[in-house]
Amino acid sequence: MTMIRNFLMTSITLLILAATAAAAAQPAILDAALRGDRAAVRSLIAKGADVNAAAADGATAIHWAVYRGDVEMAQMLISAGAKVTIANRNGATPLWLAATNGDAVMIRTLLDGGADPNEKLPLGRTPLMVAARTGKVDAIRVLIDRGANVNAREDQRGTTPLMWAADQGHTAAVQLLVERGADIAVRSAPAERGRGPALGKANDPRESVRRQVAAILANQKSPDLSSLRQAGQNRNANANADADANDNDDQDDAAAGVFPRRGRAAADGGQLTALIYAARANSRETVQALLKAGANVNEVSGYGWTPLLVATQNRFYQLGAYLLENGADPNIANKGGWTPLYLATDNRNIERGDYPVRQPDMDHLEFIKLLLAKGADVNARMIDSTETRTVFTNQWLDEEGATAFLRASQSGDLELMKLLLAHGADPRIATKLNVTPLQVAAGIGWVEGITFEWSPEQTLEAVRLLLELGIDPNVQAATGRVALHGAAHKGATEVVKLLVKYGARMDIRDYGNTDNRGSPELAAHTWLPVDYADGLVRVGVQSAIPHPETGRVLRELMKEAGLDPPPMGRTLDSICITEICSIDYSP
C-alpha cells in the first residue's frame, strides 16, 4: 500500500508544482481553475476558451476543479464540454481525484457527466478502491450504486476494495462493502517474500574441513600460509561458478568452504485476506466486523500467516487476546514453523538492531500466559529462523529446530524459562544442528552489543537451572562447540566457573571455525574454549573479542584439571598454526 500512497501523492504534487512552476505558460482557463476563480472560468468559457486545454503534465481545468472540491466549477466545465475521462501524464483522472478526496458529491457529478465507475486507473486500480481507502462511506455508496465492481482486483497485488478498506481499519466502509457483496474470503495474489540477508549459515563442518584441507594440500608440494589462502579462494570461486551455472542459489557444497546463499524469493508470500489486512492494521473493530460477517478466524496467507500470528508478530497483543477469545488456534504455525508462542518469546527478548521496534500494547509475559492457557504447544519446533533486524544475528545460531524454551534461554529469561518448564517444556530439545538450551544460555549465538540479555546474574542462574536439570555441559553441537566455547567467547567468567564445576571439559575442540572466508588455514584449525576467550576465533560477522580475565581463569582451571594451558597474551599475529602446514596434518 506504500507504493500506492506514494503514487497518489506524486500525482497531487505534480498538480501543485504545475501551479507554481508553469502557471505563466499554461492556458488562462487552466490557471483560473487552479486559482479557484469561478468568475474567470465562466468568462473564459463565454469567450470560447478550450476547456480541455492541458498543462505540460497533462492536467486540465476539470482536474483542478475536482482537486479543489469545487462542484459548481466542475459542473460549469462539464456543461462546456470538459472531458471527464481525461487523464494526466500520471494516469490520474478527475474521478480518481474525487475518489481520493472521498468527495461523494463530486463523484456523482462526474458520473452524471459520463465518467466510468469501473475505469482502470494505473496498475489496474479502480475508483472504488481509492474511495475505500479513504473510508468515506457516502463516496463508496455512490460508486457502488452506479455499478462499481465491489470485487474488482488491481493488477499489482490482486487486492480488492474490501482489502483497501480493511488495511486502513475503516470499519464502516468494510461493513458497507460486505453488505453490497464484497467477498470476505478472497485472497490477494501470490507474491515473493522479501529476501533475508544473503549471509548463510554453515552446516556441520567436520567432513568439509577434512576435504578442504586434503584438497588444498594435495595440490602443493610445500604448502605455506599464503598459498593455502590462495588455494582456498580459488576453491570458493570454482564452487560459486558451478552453482551459478546450475542456476542454484542454495548451493550447499560446504566441502569447498562456501557459505550457502539464500535462494531467490519463493512466490509463497502474499495471498492475504481482508481479515489479515485488518489484523495487520490493528483494527479490532474491523476484525470484529469481518468475523461477524463470517470470516474464518484461522484463515492463512500464502506463507501461513494467521490473523493471530500477524497480531503477535506486530505486538498487537490486545488484538491477539481478542482473537484467542474468538477461537484463534495458538498452535497454527506458518511455513517457517513460527508459532505465536515463539514469536512472543522472541519479541520479549528481541535483539538490538538497525530498526526501531514497536512497543507492545500488553506485557509480553501476560500475553504468553494467555497463549499457554489456550493450550499453546511449548515444545513446538522452528523450521526456519525468524526475521532478523540486523545481519549480525543470523551467523552462528540457526534456529531450525529451536523451541520457545531455547529462545528464552538464549537471553537468560529466567522467569519465562520457569513458566515454560511449568507447562511442560523439554529443556533437552536442541536445534537441528544440536545446539542446546544450555549452550545458548552460556553464550553460543551471543553477538556483542546485539543479543539481548536480562542481566549477567540472571544468565548465570539460567545456566545453573539447566545444569541442575541434568543437562550435559559436554554435548557438542554440529560445529563441535560446547557450552564452554560459548561462555569463553562471551567472556562470561562466572558461567565458565559454573560449567566447569558441573563437569564441563576444557579440552574439547570444535570442528573448525566455519567462518572460513579469506582464511582457509584458520578455518581448518580446531579450537579450545581458551582460544575463544583469547579472541582467536571469529564467528560469522561477530568480531573476535579477547577476554583476558576469562582466559586467566580458564588457564587456572586447566592447570587444576591437569591440562597444559597455552601462554597468555596470544593473538593471531603472534602464533603460527604449524600443524596445518604439515602434509600429514589431520584435523
**Tens-place pLDDT, residues 293-313:** 999 999 999 999 999 999 999
Please give the residue that has the higher pLDDT: either 224 or 502: 502
**Rounded mean pLDDT, 318-325:** 99
151: containing domain: 2-185
Cα separations in angstroms, 536 against 478, 543, 570: 20, 10, 8
Domain with 50 in it: what CATH number? 1.25.40.20
**CA angle (147, 286, 121) in 5-degree steps:** 35
Give residue-wise pLDDT tens across range 255-292.
222 223 334 456 678 999 999 999 999 999 999 999 99
Is 66 domain-assigned?
yes
Is 175 domain-assigned?
yes
116 with 251, same domain: the answer is: no
Lowest mean pLDDT among 233-247, 259-273, 419-433: 233-247
179 with 230, same domain: the answer is: no
**CA angle (280, 95, 21) in 5-degree steps:** 95
* Rounded-to-integer distance, Cα 234 and Cα 187, Å: 48
Is 154 domain-assigned?
yes
44 with 150, same domain: the answer is: yes
pLDDT band at 13 (very low <50, low <70, confident <90, very high): low
List CB contacts of 499: < 8 A, sequence separation 6 or more: 442, 463, 467, 473, 483, 484, 487
Task: Assess contact for 539 and 446: CB atoms under 8 A.
Answer: no
Helix boundaries (H) for 374-403: none
179 with 210, same domain: the answer is: no
Is 108 domain-assigned?
yes
84 with 214, same domain: the answer is: no
150 with 77, same domain: the answer is: yes
Is 21 domain-assigned?
yes
Give residue-wise pLDDT tens across range 158-210.
999 999 999 999 999 999 999 999 999 999 999 987 644 333 333 334 444 44
42 with 111, same domain: the answer is: yes
pLDDT band at 355 (very low <50, low <70, confident <90, very high): confident
**Rounded mean pLDDT, 128-132:** 99
**Rounded mean pLDDT, 435-459:** 95
191 strand-pairing partners: 269
pLDDT band at 25 (very low <50, low <70, confident <90, very high): low
176 with 103, same domain: the answer is: yes
Q: Tell me which residue of 586, 400, 401, 402 sits closest to 511, measured CA to CA.
A: 586
Using CB atoms within 10 Å of the CB of residue 193, give its burial: 0 to 12 exposed, 13 to 18 middle, 19+ buried: middle
99 with 171, same domain: the answer is: yes
**Rounded mean pLDDT, 52-69:** 97
Global pTM?
A: 0.83
166 with 227, same domain: the answer is: no
Number of domains in the chain: 2
Lowest mean pLDDT among 203-207, 354-358, 388-392, 547-551: 203-207
Is 87 domain-assigned?
yes
86 with 232, same domain: the answer is: no
Question: What's the count of helices (H) and strands (E) in the chain, helices before strands?
Answer: 28, 2
**Whose grid coordinates read 507474491?**
191
* Rounded-to-integer distance, Cα 52 and Cα 337, Å: 58
> Among 156, 185, 214, where does a domain finish?
185
List CB contacts of 95: < 8 A, sequence separation 6 or more: 84, 85, 107, 110, 111, 115, 116, 117, 119, 127
* Rounded-to-integer distance, Cα 9 and Cα 495, Å: 56
* Rounded-to-integer distance, Cα 357 and Cα 451, Å: 15
71 with 144, same domain: the answer is: yes
